[in-house]
Chains A and B, each alone.
Chain A
Amino acid sequence: MTLSAGRGPWIWIGKQAVKQGSLKQWFKSGAPGIWMSGGAVAIAVIMTLGLISVIAVRGLAHFWPADVIEARYAVPGEAPRTIMGEVVQAEEVPLERLKGAGLPVPEDGPKFMTRELIKLGNRELNGSDFAWVVGDWLQDQKKPTDVIALERREWGNFYGYLINVKEDGKIVAEGEAAIPTLRERLDRISELADQIGQLEKVDIGGINYGLERLRLRERGLELDNALDATAQADLAAERSELEARYRTFEDQLVSLRQDFDRDSLTLRDATGRETEVRLANVVHAYQPNAMSTLQKLGFYFAKLWEFLSTDPREANTEGGVFPAIFGTVMMTLIMAVIVTPFGVIAAIYLREYAKQGPLTRLIRIAVNNLAGVPAIVYGVFGLGFFVYVLGGSIDQLFFRESLPSPTFGTPGLLWASLTLAILAVPVVIVATEEGLARIPRSVREGSLALGATKAETLWKVVLPMASPAMMTGLILAVARAAGEVAPLMLVGVVKLAPTLPVNLNYPYLHLDQKIMHLGFHIFDVGFQSPNVEAARPLVYATALLLVLIIAGLNLSAVAIRNRLREKYKALDS
């Protein structure tokens, strides 16, 4: 389609003049190249923002109490059945694909049908809590306001109608009165659950830990041939004291549990089956269809807070991610403490003390490149060197009593932090060096001319001025370390850690313990969970959290760097 060339006025595209209208000329002018390259930028921006918004939308939507629908599902040729649940996803699908899935689709119908993923809940009754249904076959859809949704400690959600509330098998409330009674008793249950958790984890956990330490002390004494009668008597006394305390706690626990198990609910599901659910098993109970938007918003934020502050439940597919947040923060903190002094010293050496020559240049290139070495390589190194060589020797020297079960000779918090420190140290070195290089020579020379020694110049003049650069480097290092998962899989993360690495048991900080980590949590729950469908929203939420943390860290590094540049611009002039 060659348009008449040579006619019409001249136009400007970019910085050049071309005759209007001629496609050929337009192509010759190179404008398509400009547009194409501009398009590449647009695509890159869309990809980034698109990814983040998909994660954000899916992650944040998870906490919203969606309406529960009830409908008759009539598959042609089968008896219709009533189903109840939340619509999770809906898509248009070509007829052939449904046919391929073995569904009795009509031959002469429309070319496309909707397919919906419905969260049915009631896993103990239905076998699975999700089902794909053909939207066109759902009849009489309604949203009954008295539907109640239960979030449970086991078996996932329950959707149905509340019939009554029982106490020790006797009905205490029925019909209209059942809901307020349920609310009341649910508050009691959650209080009891807190108490039981405290007893089990803190009190009894502490005693178990004490008993284990006693056993190790005995074994240690035995190894040193110092296990005489007095020592044995001491140990026995301590042990019996711990056991006595254990018994009192256990009695408390038993009575608490009895209280805990007192109440139960009778519920009817969509098909009319009645079931009894122990109230102890219920975490939340709400009536999504009856809630106003404001109530839903309140519920939403409560759930969001729960996600951030509680332990995971049901093989990590429900509940919160607090241990993972804690583990990530703890590990990055320890890493930062290790990496800062070492990175800064190496940078000072390279920039201030080393003779600038080919060797220094070589070292600099090597350090630069180490930042580009695949993270998994650091993981392999960490496992081989830190865990097996260093950890193994530490066990031989200091923890002989607990051998053959390893203390430090197995992946753990310390080794994870150290491995990430090695991985991140080049980042700190490069950033600090850059900061040192930016400090004008005149400042150093001024200090030296006033009689300060090199060390004093360094300590009092150069380092304070370079501190924002170090800060930038440190933040970037932390951001890199917080997002790195591959090496951690080898040196210290687990899918479920029984206790936090910091707790009330002496020595309070347990460097040998394995930790949970947000990134690994995503991998584990998203890919190795038995119920991926149920876990998916939680994975999105966790991913969003991680993105936010890392984006926040990076943006603060950028902000500091920009402030720093402004500062030295003033110095230069």
Chain B
Amino acid sequence: MTETRSPARIDFDSPTLRRKRRWRAKMDRFTRWYVLVGGLTVLVAITLIFFYLAYVVLPLFKGASISAEEPQSPAWMQQAGMPLALSLEEQNEVGMQISAAGEMIFFNAADGSELSRQALPIPTGAQIVTVAQDLVRPFVALGLSNGQALVVRHSYASVYPEGKRVIVPRVDYPYGEAPITVDPQGRALEHLSLTADDEQLTLAASNASELQVFKLTLEENMLTGETTLESQRIDLPRLAQTVQALYLDPRGQWLYVINGRVSADVFDLRDRTLNGHYKLIDDASNQVTASAQLLGGISLLIGDAKGGINQWFMARGNDGEPQLQRVRGFKLGDAPITQIVAEQRRKGFIALDNKGNLGVFHSTAHRTLLVDKIAEGSGLLTLSPRANHVLLAHEGQLQGFELNNPHPEISWSALWGKVWYESYDKPSYVWQSTSASNDFEPKLSLAPLTFGTLKAAFYAMLLAAPLAIAAAVYTAYFMAPRMRRKVKPVIELMEALPTVILGFFAGLFLAPYVEGHLPGIFSLLLLTPIGIILTGFIWSRLPESIRFRMPEGWESLLLIPVVLLTGWFALSMSPYLETWFFGGDMRLWISHDLGITYDQRNALVVGLAMGFAVIPNIFSIAEDAIFSVPRSLTYGSLALGATPWQTLTRVVILTASPGIFSALMIGMGRAVGETMIVLMATGNTPVMDWNIFQGMRTLAANVAVEMPESEVGGTHYRVLFLAALVLLSFTFVMNTLAEIIRHRLRKKYASL
């Protein structure tokens, strides 16, 4: 590098240059790798979206799994015998059982060791005949042989001595330590049902075919803090058959009495009348063997001797009267069902048959998540409040099971089919994901949302497709190049407008404006084409001296004032039309005389606003496709004597039709995924109705509304991910198809 004066003497192989060459080669290799790795990483990262969404959604469709823990044979169980009732607390750490001797024993759920026991204040000489538990709250009622009932509450407190959590069970008697006399004649309470909270207790009991209903209200004196008990007895008629089980509706409306072999009687507790006598099973060789109430107490689950479980609830029948109707059925096996336990947080339940098969089910999703043999023969089963632990008392042994069942609510039928929800009269498509109450049945049907999405897209395309394609045809084929250069940036500007602006404009300006000028809007649709054609015709009859002043390809410019004028005319005519034909208020006329619901933010407004968003998308692709039709084709056609319009319709559009089709598909994809416009320009009510004057809720808007509030990892969260995945797949497929079509078209043009 030092001697560079004379070119002949440059030594290209000097150590410095060699080093430099090596360095350059290294840099080259490095760049290659860098770009390779970097580029691939970016490409992988963007495809990650698809996989991540799928990864979040996948657990929805997995079933349940169960794993058995070591069976325990605790000493207290050997001594106390088979428990009458069993329960687990929230953390799955402490179990509770009630023994026939009238003792409440709390034990460690993991190893079975006894923690504490409490003798219940049962009057001497009386025995426990039956035990009833509240569906959710930790109230237990013991039916005694002397016609009395004892109501006990067991609660659990977490304390932290030495920084470690210890759960301390507690027993108390909010309705008094003395048993409540339910049967004044002192007959044994054979069956019992209770619903209780901190203020009110309702007990239903039976002896043979005799029914007793007893209501207690706890009233606290505001001044003294003393509590007094108010009691009320409801008299009900005697039944013909022996009672098998009783269920109280927590809302205090119904009392369900399962009696005889296969029948159920329903009493209306408010009117104190019999609502009806229902036959639960038609099969003569079958009978009811187990029953339970689902969370919320609306549904009854009836298990039979052939392994079937059927869900029944009160729904309005054809005559408009509420009646007990069979909603759906499940099958556990072929052995008689011995016990059904409902979950305390969801509308799911587990069931056991006498061969020891455990079934895990979900009612709304109509889903059998798991059937597994967990024991030889039957036993007594309990499910933890979080539905993740099962405890089975069986032949003097106690066995725990870890139940993994995070998302039972979702199935194909729950997402896309008609589902018969509790308190509904018939199966329907409903989206209602959350509610204030705890025993709410989530209604997660994507059908109304998909319908809303398609409805919005349909009305948008109704406006956008003809306008955009016509405009593309004109711009590409007829328009003067000078004007074309001016029009295209305007359309590009249209494409660049943020959708939040379109949405806000639609919601705050267009929606009230359309509402006030309905006749004007409709006459606008009618008058504009007429005005345009009329202008064209009048133009054709004008003297040449005027016509020749406008070169061909500038018709649009001429039409701008025409369209403005017809628009102004139509809109200013609107109030007159309204007074003449619609009694001064078309909106009222629509809802009164036509009986159509009218929302201010409706599909018409969405169609207008979203059409606005979609037009430029369709326009630019269609325009491109028409513009790049080889000139030779056009010239050939014109040379053969075809008029320009004939050339356009028979040659140009035909050739470009795949391109136009792909433009429509891309427009559709855009309309389907649009969020802000729909969010702002509709009422976001998930209704399924093609009515143009009603709103809708779309998949995208639904995600935007509900996502921030959903619990991470929960079913609702994953369903929203599913909605996003549906959107992604839909648009991806549409766009890919459109892209492939355009690619083929480009090849075709190249060959022409």
Residues of chain B within 8 A (CB-CB) of A330 are none
- Enumerate chain A residues within 8 angstroms of B654, measured Cβ to Cβ: none
Q: A111-B579, A353-B36, A363-B43 are in contact. Are A374 and B508 (CB under 8 A)?
A: no
Partner of A425 from the list B46, B491, B499, B669 (CB cut-off 8 Å) is B46
Could you tell me the distance in whole angstroms from the C-beta of A53 to the nearest C-beta in chain B? 12
Smallest beta-carbon distance A488→chain B, Å: 10
B526-561: CB near A (< 8 Å → 1, else 0) gives 001100110111001100100100001001111110
Chain B residues positioned under 8 Å from A49 (CB to CB): 490
CA distance A502 to B273 in the complex (A): 71
**Among residues 23 to 76 in chain B, which have CB atoms less than 8 Å away from a CB atom of chain A?**
24-25, 27-28, 30-32, 34-36, 38-40, 42-43, 45-49, 52-53, 56
Whether the Cβ atoms of A365 and B736 lie closer than 8 Å is: yes
- Could you tell me the distance between the alpha carbons of A459 and B258 in the complex, rounded to whole angstroms? 85
Which residues of the other chain, A, contact B563 by a CB distance below 8 angstroms? 39, 42-43, 46
Please indicate which of the listed interface residues A18, A93, A111, A366 has the most CB atoms of chain B within 10 Å of its own CB.
Answer: A366
Contact B36 A349 (CB under 8 A): yes
The answer to whether A92 and B541 touch (CB under 8 A), given A39-B528, A486-B704, is no
CB <8 Å contact, B588 and A45? no
Q: Say if the beta carbon of B659 comes within 8 Å of chain A.
A: no
* Given A42-B560, A372-B666: A100 and B740 interface contact (C-beta under 8 Å): no
Encoded as 1 (CB less than 8 Å from any B CB) or 0, chain A from 370 to 403 comes to 1011111111110111001000000000000000
Looking at chain A's contact residues, is the secondary structure mostly helix, strand, loop, or mixed? helix
**How many Å lie between the Cα of A374 and that of B39 in the bound state?**
23
**B533 x A36 contact (CB < 8 A):** yes
CA distance A543 to B506 in the complex (A): 13
A347 to B38, CA, bound (A): 10
* Inter-subunit contact A51/B505 (CB<8 Å): yes
Per-position binary interface string of chain B over residues 485-525, scored 1 when its CB falls under 8 Å from any chain A CB and 0 otherwise? 00101111110111111111101110000001000000000
The CA-CA distance from A20 to B542 in the complex, in Å, is 10
Number of interface residues, chain A, beta carbon within 8 A: 113
Check if B182 is an interface residue, CB within 8 A of chain A. no
Let me know if B490 and A486 touch, CB within 8 A: no
Report the separation of the CA atoms of residues A550 and B494 in the bound assembly, to the nearest whole angstrom: 11
A483 to B487, CA, bound (A): 23
Determine whether the beta carbon of B35 is less than 8 Å from that of A94.
no
A112 at the interface (CB under 8 A from B): yes
Tell me which residues across on chain A come within 8 A of B40, comparing CB atoms: 349
B466-485 interface with A by 8 A CB criterion: 466-468, 470-471, 473-475, 478-479
Please judge, given known A-B contacts A55-B501, A523-B503, whether A486 and B643 are in contact too, CB under 8 Å: no
Count chain A CB atoms within 10 A of each CB in B502, B666, B732 and give the residue with the most.
B732
Cα distance A393–B672 in the bound complex, in angstroms: 34
Q: Check if A455 sits within 8 Å of B32, measured CB to CB.
A: yes
For the complex, what is the distance from the CA of A7 to the CA of B415, rounded to whole Å?
Answer: 69
Asked whether, in the complex, the Cβ of B28 is within 8 Å of the Cβ of A551, the reply is no
CA distance in complex: A546, B500 (Å): 10
Whether, in the assembled complex, B120 has its beta carbon less than 8 Å from a beta carbon of chain A, the answer is no
A484: nearest residue on chain B (CB-CB)?
Answer: B498
Within 8 A of A (CB), among B676-714: 676, 679-680, 700, 703-704, 707-708, 712
Q: What is the size category of the interface that chain B forms with chain A?
A: 35 or more
Shortest Cβ distance from A16 into B: residue = B643
B501 contacts which chain A residues (CB < 8 A)?
Answer: 55, 483, 519, 522, 543, 546-547
Pair A15/B672 contact, Cβ less than 8 Å? no
Which of these binds chain A: B156-164, B358-366, B721-729? Answer: B721-729
Q: Which B residues between 1 and 17 are near A, CB-CB below 8 angstroms?
A: none
CB of B136 within 8 Å of the partner chain? no
Task: Report yes or no: B736 in contact with A38, Cβ–Cβ below 8 A.
Answer: no
Q: Which residues of B contact A376 (CB under 8 A)?
A: 673, 675, 700, 703-704, 724, 727
Let me know if B173 is at the binding interface, CB within 8 A. Answer: no
In the complex, are the beta carbons of B471 and A44 less than 8 A apart? Answer: yes
Given that A369-B736, A485-B676, A554-B493 are contacting pairs, would A39 and B529 also be in contact in the complex, using a CB cutoff of 8 Å? yes
Given A31-B536, A39-B529, A54-B509, decide whether A95 and B584 contact each other with a Cβ distance below 8 A: yes
A64 an interface residue at 8 Å Cβ cutoff?
no
Q: Are A489 and B474 touching (Cβ within 8 A)? A: no
Q: Is A526 an interface residue (CB 8 A)?
A: yes
Say yes or no for B149: interface residue by CB 8 A criterion.
no
Residues of B within 8 A of A547 (CB): 497-498, 501
Which residues in B have some Cβ–Cβ distance to A below 8 Å? 24-25, 27-28, 30-32, 34-36, 38-40, 42-43, 45-49, 52-53, 56, 466-468, 470-471, 473-475, 478-479, 487, 489-494, 496-505, 507-509, 516, 528-529, 532-533, 535-537, 540-541, 544, 547, 552, 555-560, 562-564, 567, 575, 578-579, 583-585, 588, 612, 615, 619, 638, 643-646, 648-649, 666, 669-670, 672-676, 679-680, 700, 703-704, 707-708, 712, 720-721, 724, 727-728, 731-732, 735-736, 739-740, 743
Q: Known pairs A41-B487, A99-B584, A490-B704. 14 more at Cβ < 8 A? A: A30-B644, A32-B536, A35-B533, A36-B529, A39-B562, A41-B470, A44-B468, A373-B731, A376-B704, A376-B727, A483-B498, A485-B499, A527-B680, A550-B496
Query: Would you mind naming 8 contact pairs between A and B with Cβ atoms under 8 Å apart?
Result: A35-B532, A45-B560, A363-B43, A369-B732, A375-B675, A485-B676, A519-B501, A558-B492
Give 7 nearest A-B pairs by CB, closest first.
A30-B645, A96-B584, A349-B39, A374-B673, A483-B498, A35-B536, A40-B470
**Residues of A with Cβ closer than 8 Å to B?**
11, 13-16, 18, 20-21, 23, 26, 29-49, 51-52, 54-55, 91-97, 99-100, 111-112, 342-343, 345-350, 352-354, 363, 365-370, 372-381, 383-385, 388, 422, 425-426, 429, 453-456, 458-459, 479, 482-486, 489-490, 519-520, 522-523, 526-527, 532, 536, 539, 543, 546-547, 550-551, 554-555, 558
